[in-house]
Structure 1
């Protein structure tokens, strides 16, 4: 059955399903990016905690490095870790919501 032979409501449901699938794929990509960022942050924190308070430490600001203190950098990285947890929770909930929506749309089409 070609799309021109399908009833309009089925065409609409199929379009919505495709859109939900694309959104789901986008969330999965964001989750992967977030996971890589978490690993990098953990490694940076681990290395920074090995440094003495007297060691020179720098933070990345665009294409330059700026001198900072160990405490400031640890605070920034801990804050980044905390923010990543919130984003991760949001993405997890959004993923669950989209999967349920997709499941319902599939069931609706199969009726």
Structure 2
């Protein structure tokens, strides 16, 4: 290409800048669009982070609920009369008192 041909071709970047400089409203709208798009990306990122946190908290709640149900079943098992009597006999070596072992105290 000759030197004249290169001067006739406009530089696209500089032409865009000239056009934006000439029209202030277009420049302002471009800035607002860029700012709102960056804000949208940031808000979307934060929302996804909160959804992930919510999912983990819901999973933790379900695990705690399941553990609580197991503890209720275990509490019921250990509070049964037959179980208490079995532990008293086997581990504590307790027995029911007979009538000979009973003593009557009379209060006046």
Question: TM-score category by the smaller chain?
Answer: 0.3 to 0.5
Relative contact order, CA 8 A, sep 6+: which one is greater? 1
TM-score (structure 2 length as normaliser): 0.44
TM-score (structure 1 length as normaliser): 0.43
